[in-house]
Amino acid sequence: MPSTLAAVFLAGASKLVLVLHALCAIALVGSVTHNAVLAVMHMRRRYTRLALARTYVRIIAVLFPLTLLVGALAYPSYRVHVRPWLDANVSLMSALFEVKEHWIGLGFGALIAYVPLALRVDPRKPGSEVRLVQLLALAIAAAVWMALLSGLVAVAHRSI
């Protein structure tokens, strides 16, 4: 391994970290998708599986920061080893990967407000707060799906 890469944080374990990141992301995408489906059902006034919806919120509250953290551990290797190659050869992919990072960052901010609201708000009661919780569930799901797809495409081009 070249000395530059050896100096990068967790460079020796980067593939293991990437696999862990992918596993967390797969579990997260499943939970945000189920959560978004339930949010749409609640928008359409079909108030079923309210307890399950709160369980998904709790799972997302754990998995989202965990996935972000593991991804952040792999990021230095990506920045040194993959990003320059993408910039030189597939610049659109590099830009999309940056968008993914930003969407996840903004999704994390949304999550901080979303989790306490979603655990407290009763979708059967009227109020603009209820609609916000449902729309944030969709926005978070969109960010996670975008991240998964762009991450997969980036890895298909070049991996750490």
Partner 1 sequence: MEEPKKQDALERDIAWQHPRAVQLLLGLIAFCSTYLGMQLSKSPLLYYLPKTRQWTLSVQAGEVAMSYYGLLVAALAGFLCGYALGWLPPIRRILSRPTYRRGLVLIAFLSVVGAMGAVLVAELLA
Report the distance separating Cα 72 and Cα 39, nearest Å: 29
79 touches partner 1 by CB under 8 A: yes
Contact window for partner 1 (CB under 8 A) among 2-10, 24-32, 38-46, 56-64: 2-10
User: How does 107-142 read in b/e, with b if 16+ C-beta sit within 10 Å?
Assistant: beebbeebbeebeebebeeeeeebeebbebbebbbe
136 touches partner 1 by CB under 8 A: yes
Contact present, 27 and 9 (Cβ < 8 Å)? no
State which of residues 26, 52, 112, 149 lies at the interface with partner 1 (CB under 8 A).
112
Binding site for partner 1 (CB under 8 A): 4, 7-9, 72, 75-77, 79-80, 84, 92, 95-96, 98-99, 101-103, 105-106, 108-110, 112-113, 116-117, 120-122, 125-132, 135-136, 139, 142-143
